[in-house]
Amino acid sequence: MAVCGLMFIFTITDKNKSMSQIIQPQHVAFLKEAIALSRQFTPENGCGPFGCVIVKEGQVVGKGWNTVLHDKNPTAHAEVNAIAEACKNLNDYQLQDCIAYCSAEPCPMCLGALYWARVKAVYFANTRKDTAGAGFDDDFIYEELNVIGDARDIPFYHVPVDDAKSAFEKWQAQGTKY
């Protein structure tokens, strides 16, 4: 299954749609729910200022807020937490018919998680520039994605090891994957 169904709203118009076709009142309402989560869960209770709701057929199926500090887990972002709850509630590892509403433009990790979850669209309120203005370094990580291996701020080294591909070979040999 291709993952090209994901849509991010970056500009005022889409090539094929007007702004009014893209941003319907329900989108604003769900964004406000995500924003409310970002305000409710604050550093005082170990949370960062980010919220996300996952919606299927007009119903919220997953909610998440940033729990990085509380959980002492750098991957506990709002989107990742919302995806986990939605997948659990829907008893599925993919969210193909779902839309994610985020209080801010997802960071690169969450962008990847949203693609892996196969959501059909993502709407967000604050841009990555807004996020950078609040002291978060998402934009730096976006830039690092274009840097090669050991030139990155945290160097990455490829070390070929015998038998490293054996797990992939076993995976490919099995019939049904999921």
Catalytic residue check, 33: no
pLDDT at 24: 86
| Predicted local distance difference test score (pLDDT) of residue 6 | 42
For residues 80 and 119, what is the distance between their CA atoms, to the nearest angstrom?
12
44, 79, 144, 169: the catalytic one is: 79
Residues 6+ apart with CB under 8 A from 39: 49, 51
Residues 116, 119: Cα–Cα separation, whole Å: 8
Tokens read off for 67: 């729990």
Q: How far apart are CA 41 and CA 77, in angstroms?
A: 12
The model carries a pTM of 0.84
Q: What is the reported pLDDT for 19?
A: 57
